[in-house]
Structure 1
Amino acid sequence: MHTASPFPAEQGAGRKAMLWIVFAGFFMQALDTTIVNTALPSVALSLGEKPLDLKSVVVAYTLTMALLTPASGWLADKFGTRRVYFSAILIFTLGSMFCATAHTLPQLVIARVLQGIGGSMLLPVGRLAVLRNIPGEQYIAALAFVSVAGQVGPLLGPALGGWLVQNASWHWIFLINVPVGAVGLFAVRRYLPHDAASVVAPFDWVGCGLLSLCMVTFSLALENGVSSPWTALLVAVSVASALLYIPHARRRATPLFRLALFREPNFSVGLAGNLFCRIGSGAVPFLLPLLFQLQLGYSPFHSGLLLLPIAIAGMLAKRWVVPLVNRLGYDGFLQINTWIVGVSIASFAVMSPGWPLALSIVQLSVFGWANSMQFAAMNSITLKGLSHEDAGSGNSLFSMVQMLAIGLGVTIGGGLVSLFSVKLGVAAPAYRLAFLTMGLVTVLSGFIFRRLDAKPLERTQPEAVQAR
């Protein structure tokens, strides 16, 4: 079967092969963020753990990616894109093999961290390879081609994960990466152009360490809950490390993130809005498969298929973002759409045995539609006002916040179900209360967007809305 390429045939097989290499890497990373969720009940049964305790499997991956994404560009500049991308695929593939051979939850979490190390470099370094090897007039077409992997991965992930669990075993959700990774390693050596390492400014390892300590300790504090004696200490360490970054960034000539980033008002508001809004959205892909399988009695494959409306509606919704932003403005659109996202999350609380399938599909589609438009508008308004000097640094910080929010959503969502289950003695109402709470958090995050600065908004062109 012939697959369309964004480039004329005369440009040669090498450039096309390079695009497919980047496409495959992005696909593996995008697939792995969704394929695991459907399999969690089966993994828990196999490892002798409670399903909700496996939230650490998801959080370990997303948090590792959040911590290491800022270093990916510096590594590519210092050691060369080809070498770093090869290492990323190798580490990701090895991590997948170790995940498949894990016999305990701690072993699986460690393997997921290794996967996250490789995954943190796949997308940004792959995108950098395209930028450096594709002529400017063809760069947009190339990036659009590669970005399809980010849409196909979440579309196939839940159903594929459910099918593999039901017809083989949960180990295959990780083993499926091994042949793809092996082909990718060969292709990188064969087709990805050599690029010389360059002289770069020293990386801000201290600043990265402070922010990493802040995120890790805060996540651990949420994981431990308010009853743990360690929680207050972890929160104190988290706050202290964040505060220590401020004088560090002022003293250093090239800090990880310049403090000047936060002088752009819409960047600060957009960053805060993204964090709190994505907490609710991040909990949904984790909680829904558990609800479907543990409370509604669906099979893993059926559970995965039920998540398809979210991905399909999300893909179809992207074309509506620009017209709606043009009509309502960014501030009006985000305030209204955030409410729709929050209410749709809260609506999952009414799902119960015997709930009509048609209504479930409508609920999931509304969430997918609104959530996709929410991400696109939030991404655009957060980054659009940054100067050329701050664009790269701001995008890295924004990526960190995105991944952190997903991890926080899983931690908080799973923690709420555990807490309500203990208080009520049964799990069914615990899921309902968790969805209602996460929906309320999302609705309240809409008030953050009321602080958007109107003047920069007038200069922002809605046509620049980003898809991710």
Structure 2
Amino acid sequence: MTIFIYLIIMISFVDTFSQLPIMSPFAQSLGATPFFIGVVVGMYSLTNMVGNIFSGFWIDKEGTRRVLLFGLVASGLVLFAYAFVNTVPQLLVARFLHGLSGGILVPAAFTFLANRGDGAKRGKTMALSGAAVGLAAVIGPAFGGIVTSKFGIEWVFIVIGSLMIVTAGVTRWLLPHTPAQLTEVKQAGQQNTTSFVGLLKVLPLLYAYIGSFSLMFAQGVLAYMLPLKVEALNYGSALSGMLFGVFGITAIFIFILPTNRLFDRFPHEYTMTVGMVIIGAALFLLSMVTGQTVMYGIMMLYGTGFAFIFPSINALIVQHTSAENRGKAFAVFYALFSLGVVVGSFVTGVFDLSADTSFVVGSAVLIVNSIVIWTLSLLALKRESLV
């Protein structure tokens, strides 16, 4: 059962990652101006945040199974619709709907996984979910690029849309009905607040949300600026793909090897902040180097930091929520995921920063936010010791 949820997570992210190398050229082929190409690319992330929030309410009200089914079917149908797009306005509508459906699907999958997980091994469980995302990050762009070049862009949408519909059918047959209010033993640290503002007032959840935004801010900077740096150094566009591949494969190995036990051995906020510092250091180093070999090493370092952050954030959310509010908690998490990517790429673009300057800005955001989390956690420990 748990393995099937990992499969749903991987398929969901293959859907997202497969479109990274093809969406801008697709919009351009329809006659989109550079401005509208940006709108087309960003539309998914913006409506994804709306879908995330809506999904959180729906999950906590009716359970995860129905939300999962809706998200899979809706995403599959929207993907089929892409194959019939002939104009830029039609593409914008498709991206709008796709962001909504994807935003509904992903929090449901992670909430279902969290509700079924072993509390003593939540870090390992979430590390394995990170491996599913990492595999998608490696498979998705390659699949999108290869299928487009061999058969045409419409077949990317048709194949993944068909996979979504088939997965929905298996989900309906395989997954049990999950009532909105699950019976679970309340563990220390779990909170039952059901409002979004209330969730933000729970310090460990606030740490997780700061971490998720920081991680994806850095990811937005990296996705935008690493290819530009590689191009400026005249290394060829293939190097960018290989560097991202090294980052993904490094993270996957840390997720699946015995190193994943680290996430249950140490407090999750500590492993998360260590990961933030590692990525901050990697971005800073990336701003200083020009050699290919060193860049590979830095991307391995970046992948290590990502592997520390992702499961730690998820485990913090599971640890400090209950079945009654976990859907909303994951919804906020993934909304901030999308927001981080948008803000990271927007800041570097609107201020016309160079690649190296952008890496320094990303590094500063990671380091400063890790210090904020450490300071807040130390103050909280001090208050508890005085009680």
- TM-score, length basis structure 1: 0.63
Q: Which residue of 1 aligns with 2:346?
A: 411
Cα distance in structure 2, aligned partners of 1:366 and 1:143:
20
1:48-447 superposed matches below 5 A: 48-49=31-32, 54-72=37-55, 74-75=57-58, 83-126=66-109, 149-188=132-171, 191-192=173-174, 195=177, 256-257=195-196, 259=198, 261-289=199-227, 292=230, 296=234, 298-299=236-237, 303-318=240-255, 320=259, 323=262, 337-349=275-287, 356-381=291-316, 384-385=319-320, 393-416=328-351, 419-420=352-353, 430-447=354-371
Cα distance in structure 1, aligned partners of 2:117 and 2:318:
24
Cα distance in structure 1, aligned partners of 2:356 and 2:283:
10
Cα distance in structure 2, aligned partners of 1:72 and 1:305:
35
| Aligned residue identity for 1:184 | T
Counterpart contact for 2:127–2:307, Cα < 8 Å: no
Q: CA RMSD in A?
A: 4.3
2:21 counterpart SS class? helix
Cα distance in structure 2, aligned partners of 1:68 and 1:126:
14
- Indicate how the Cα distance of structure 1 residues 265 and 149 shifts in structure 2: closer, same or farther if over 3 A, else same: closer
1:307 counterpart SS class? helix
Counterpart contact for 1:269–1:382, Cα < 8 Å: no
* Identical amino acids, percent of aligned pairs: 20
Counterpart contact for 1:266–1:452, Cα < 8 Å: no
- Indicate how the Cα distance of structure 1 residues 453 and 60 shifts in structure 2: closer, same or farther if over 3 A, else same: same
- Indicate how the Cα distance of structure 1 residues 291 and 280 shifts in structure 2: closer, same or farther if over 3 A, else same: same
Cα distance in structure 2, aligned partners of 1:453 and 1:24:
35
| Cα distance, 1:49 vs structure 2 | 4.5
| Cα distance, 1:180 vs structure 2 | 1.0
Cα distance in structure 2, aligned partners of 1:278 and 1:372:
13
- Which segment is superposed worse, 305-314 or 104-113? 104-113
Counterpart contact for 1:277–1:446, Cα < 8 Å: no
| Aligned residue identity for 1:115 | H
1:453 counterpart SS class? helix
| Aligned residue identity for 2:133 | G
2:253 counterpart SS class? helix
| Aligned residue identity for 2:276 | T
Give the alignment partner of residue 453 of structure 1, picking from 356, 377, 382: 377
- Indicate how the Cα distance of structure 1 residues 268 and 332 shifts in structure 2: closer, same or farther if over 3 A, else same: closer
Cα distance in structure 2, aligned partners of 1:296 and 1:117:
39
Cα distance in structure 1, aligned partners of 2:377 and 2:361:
29
| Cα distance, 1:172 vs structure 2 | 4.1
Counterpart contact for 1:72–1:120, Cα < 8 Å: yes
| Cα distance, 1:456 vs structure 2 | 6.3
Counterpart contact for 1:98–1:108, Cα < 8 Å: no
| Cα distance, 1:410 vs structure 2 | 3.0
Q: Which runs of 5+ in 1 are unaligned?
A: 1-14, 201-253, 421-429, 459-468
State how many pairs are aligned. Answer: 369
Cα distance in structure 2, aligned partners of 1:118 and 1:367:
30
Cα distance in structure 2, aligned partners of 1:31 and 1:372:
18
Cα distance in structure 2, aligned partners of 1:277 and 1:81:
26
CA deviation profile, 1:170-190 (whole Å, cap 9, x unmatched): 44443331221242344345x
Cα distance in structure 2, aligned partners of 1:449 and 1:34:
30
- Indicate how the Cα distance of structure 1 residues 451 and 389 shifts in structure 2: closer, same or farther if over 3 A, else same: farther
Cα distance in structure 2, aligned partners of 1:410 and 1:283:
5
| Cα distance, 1:58 vs structure 2 | 4.0
1:176 counterpart SS class? helix
Q: Which residue of 1 aligns with 2:188?
A: none
Q: Which residue of 1 aligns with 2:26?
A: 43
- Indicate how the Cα distance of structure 1 residues 42 and 293 shifts in structure 2: closer, same or farther if over 3 A, else same: farther
| Aligned residue identity for 2:196 | F
Cα distance in structure 2, aligned partners of 1:294 and 1:52:
23
Cα distance in structure 1, aligned partners of 2:73 and 2:268:
41
Cα distance in structure 1, aligned partners of 2:7 and 2:161:
12
Cα distance in structure 2, aligned partners of 1:265 and 1:368:
27
- Indicate how the Cα distance of structure 1 residues 175 and 32 shifts in structure 2: closer, same or farther if over 3 A, else same: same
CA deviation profile, 1:329-386 (whole Å, cap 9, x unmatched): 76776555434312322444457xxx54322321221111112213334444566455
Counterpart contact for 2:60–2:326, Cα < 8 Å: no
2:20 counterpart SS class? helix
Cα distance in structure 1, aligned partners of 2:304 and 2:178:
43
Structure ID, larger Rg: 1
| Cα distance, 1:388 vs structure 2 | 7.3
- Indicate how the Cα distance of structure 1 residues 277 and 38 shifts in structure 2: closer, same or farther if over 3 A, else same: same
| Cα distance, 1:92 vs structure 2 | 0.6
Counterpart contact for 1:24–1:184, Cα < 8 Å: no
Cα distance in structure 1, aligned partners of 2:92 and 2:230:
24
1:38 counterpart SS class? coil
Counterpart contact for 1:158–1:307, Cα < 8 Å: no
- TM-score, length basis structure 2: 0.74
Counterpart contact for 1:344–1:363, Cα < 8 Å: yes
| Cα distance, 1:122 vs structure 2 | 2.4
| Aligned residue identity for 2:210 | A
| Cα distance, 1:441 vs structure 2 | 2.7
- Indicate how the Cα distance of structure 1 residues 71 and 62 shifts in structure 2: closer, same or farther if over 3 A, else same: same
